[in-house]
Amino acid sequence: MKKIILMVALISLFVVSAFSLKVFMVTDVGGLGDKSFNDGTWAGIEEAAEYLGLETAFVQSKEQADYIPNLSNAAKEGDIVFAVGFMMTDALIDVAAQFPDTYFIGIDIETTEVYNNIATYLFKEQEGAFLVGYLAAAVTQSNKLGFVGGIAIPPVERFRYGYEAGIKTYEELNGKTIELIKGYANDFNDPKKGKDLAVAQFAEGADIVFHAAGTCGNGVIEAAQEKGAPYYAIGVDVDQDYMAPGRVLTSSMKRVDVAAYDAVLSVALGTFEPGNHVLGIVEDGVGISPMTYTKDDVDPVVLEEIEILKNLVKEGTIIIPDTQEALDAFIVPEIVF
Amino acid sequence: MKQNKLYAFLVPVISVIIALLIASVIILSVGKNPIEAYSIMIVGAFGGSEQIADTLVKMTPLLLTGLAVGFGFRAGIFNIGAEGQMTMGALLGAVVAMNIGSVPSVIAIPICIISGMIGGALWASIAGFLKAFTGAHEVITTIMLNWIAVNLSSFMVTGPLAVGSGTPKSPEIADSAKLPVVLKVQASEMSIAIFIAVVVAIIMYVYLEKTTSGYELKGVGFNPYAAEYGGISIKKSIIMTMAISGALAGMAGIVDILGVPPNRFVGELSGGRGFDGIAIALIGRNNPIGIIFAALLIAALRTGSNAMQVQAQIPDDIVSIIQGIVIFLVASERIVYSLMQLTKRKKGSAAA
């Protein structure tokens, strides 16, 4: 059976590459160069395209009014069109209906209905952020933590729910009380806004600030770097630890690259499945960065505990809240390390 | 006089040509063919009904914010709060448009547009009053009001007005408030908004050039003290100017909601079109008719650049570069002017 599948896959691969698909990525207003979300997706597309020998191109959107024309133009030229970012949800559904022969992939997009030519990828951001929250709570010396969000849209909020749940878990298991300072930039593009918020949170006494704010968050990392030890930033989406080695405690990763890679392959291999695909820790869709520069700053016991927590999330023993209601009702399970 | 008109027309045109030439060097340096790039751009902006619709839809708010800023400039007011006024106009207009379901379109649409204009006008008047009575400079106050508008709109769209999951958004406006669509190609739609905006530009032209009140306003812009000496109230003029300028910006905000799907208020995600108004007013040299062409230029560059990205993989930054150079050249028109004078003098001396 396996052999047959492999054969079919190989044949379709041959057939498809003979046609040479063209993959288009339409960015949201964040655009490429955000060092997180858009860049991550693009990396996944490029990797898949190189593997399969496909053509790729991207289109950047400058305002919301660009979404429909950009997606339409891309659909005319391309066979697979990526719409990257939650803000494009409505435009994606409108345009996909006009181009039934083009495959549309939405990253960070959720549709309420299933459309034949749209596959969307979502993430359990809360699961990675949960581990990050636990770590931050263990590392903070001032017992104050910060959070900088982009715009309060569901994917950003899911990072916060997980972060808060992680902090709460540490508090209850270790009898510590931690204050959380929250702020939103109402923007994903301007690092200056992220920096202003981080500087303010540091001034209020926070010593670690987690950002879920795209390009805006690059300013948070910059603020932590300028402050120096013992202040930390926490990165998001991709492994941002390298951006200020030693001053980015860790990154709450969301493997948009894995999703993009899988999506391209699914079309090329004929295994395209319309509808929403949700990736969590189990699917390797989210996680915590390997902490290349900061491993030695953290008590090894805490790192072990995080490993244990990760397995508990994988097994489904702990369910991390993904809504405000679930967060309010979140009860820290009894865990014996 | 005729000479002056020709000159006003020549400066922006020459600037655009120079900007395109400089940008073509940059396109060459990234390994692409500038002729191919520009032809894709022109086809992408005007090549078919869909492209023209996209360009004109983009042009509408740009034209209105350009008029808003240009109107202020003519009266010596530097309104850089069009961004905030646009947002407030959109917000107030949208709230009205959501609740106007039972009223027929002929009445509903004007009511919604007027509410949008009132929203922008009230917001701008705050800065007008502050300038007239306390002397607070409008550059500072309008920028501060922009931020208040941004945060207020984010609050409204994630709080009191929020509906559904997904992108923060208000409910859809009533069907009777939607502007009639004149052109629909695939997912692109064009409403009558552009015609409304052009009519507004013509009215503004007539007002400024052909009426006493318009003449007074320009007088204040030209020399406020002389105008006051001549019996014009500066305070009244400042407040009126700010209010009208704000009303135009507010109109930009509301027609974008009444005429462009998804016909919802989505908060401050306008892509900086209020600020684009400053550039457009500059390129159009504060003349309403000039501003029509300036807005068309910028809209066409942007729509065309999207096509350039798709078909030739030329980064959209090239458009920012072209726009920057045009503004730079128009703003430093003295350079062009001096060059023209120099060639004239040379010709003159040769003749002598």
Average pLDDT over residues B28-38: 90
Distance from CA of B187 to the nearest CA of A (A): 6
Do residue A187 and residue A234 come from a single domain? yes
CB pair distance less than 8 Å for B310 and A73: yes
CB pair distance less than 8 Å for B154 and A186: yes
Of B44, B167, B188, the CB nearest to A86: B167
DSSP sequence for B286-334:
T-HHHHHHHHHHHHHHHHHHHHHHHHH---THHHHHHHHHHHHHHHTHH
Do residue A198 and residue A319 come from a single domain? yes
Q: Above 50 in pLDDT, residue B1? A: no
Do residue A274 and residue A214 come from a single domain? no
Six-digit token string for B350: 């040769």
The residues pairing with B189 across neighbouring beta strands, listed in sequence order, are B184
The residues pairing with A104 across neighbouring beta strands, listed in sequence order, are A81, A118
Fill in the DSSP letter of residue A242.
Answer: G
The residues pairing with A211 across neighbouring beta strands, listed in sequence order, are A148
pLDDT at B97: 95
Listed residue (A221, A214, A198, A79) closest to A148, CA to CA: A198
Judging contacts by C-beta atoms under 8 Å, the chain B residues touching residue A97 are: 187
Listed residue (A209, A187, A189) closest to B147, CA to CA: A187
> What is the distance between the terminal CA atoms of chain B, rounded to a whole angstrom?
25
Report yes or no on A335 lying in a domain: no
pLDDT at B82: 94
CB pair distance less than 8 Å for B271 and A65: yes
Average pLDDT over residues A142-151: 94
Do residue A273 and residue A298 come from a single domain? no
Look up residue A120 and give its amino acid.
Answer: T
Domain that holds residue A182: 125-253+287-328
Please check whether residue B166 touches A, CB under 8 A.
Answer: yes
Q: Above 50 in pLDDT, residue A18? A: no
pLDDT at B165: 60
Average pLDDT over residues B171-196: 89
- Asked if B265 and B76 count as a contact pair (C-beta separation under 8 A), the reply is no
Report yes or no on A337 lying in a domain: no
Average pLDDT over residues A84-96: 88
What residue of A is the nearest CA neighbor of B61?
Answer: A65
Residue spans of the domains in chain B: they are 54-314
- Asked if B170 and B162 count as a contact pair (C-beta separation under 8 A), the reply is yes
Do residue A42 and residue A62 come from a single domain? yes
- A289-305 per-position pLDDT tens digit: 999 999 999 999 999 99
Q: Above 50 in pLDDT, residue B89? A: yes
Please check whether residue B300 touches A, CB under 8 A.
Answer: no
In the numeric block, the tokens 């693009």 are attached to A42
What residue of A is the nearest CA neighbor of B308?
Answer: A59
Report yes or no on A333 lying in a domain: no
Q: Above 70 in pLDDT, residue A54? A: yes
How far apart CA A46 and CA A219 sit, in angstroms, is 27
Domain B54-314 classification at class level: mainly alpha
Q: Above 50 in pLDDT, residue A252? A: yes
State the CB neighbour count (10 A cutoff) for residue A45: 28
CB pair distance less than 8 Å for B168 and A74: no
CB pair distance less than 8 Å for B260 and A65: yes
Please check whether residue B134 touches A, CB under 8 A.
Answer: no
- Cα dist from A167 to A94, A175, B150, B161, B312, whole Å: 40, 11, 31, 32, 49
Do residue A84 and residue A219 come from a single domain? no
Distance from CA of B167 to the nearest CA of A (A): 5
Q: How far is CA B252 from the centre of its chain?
A: 8
Please check whether residue B316 touches A, CB under 8 A.
Answer: yes
Please check whether residue B181 touches A, CB under 8 A.
Answer: no
Decide which of B224 and B348 is more confident. B224
- In total, how many domains does chain A have? 2
- A92-125 per-position pLDDT tens digit: 998 999 999 999 999 988 888 899 999 999 999 9
Q: Above 60 in pLDDT, residue B347? A: yes
Q: Above 70 in pLDDT, residue B336? A: no
What percent of chain B is modeled with pLDDT above 90? 52
Average pLDDT over chain A reads 90
Report yes or no on A216 lying in a domain: yes
- CATH number of the domain enclosing A169: 3.40.50.2300
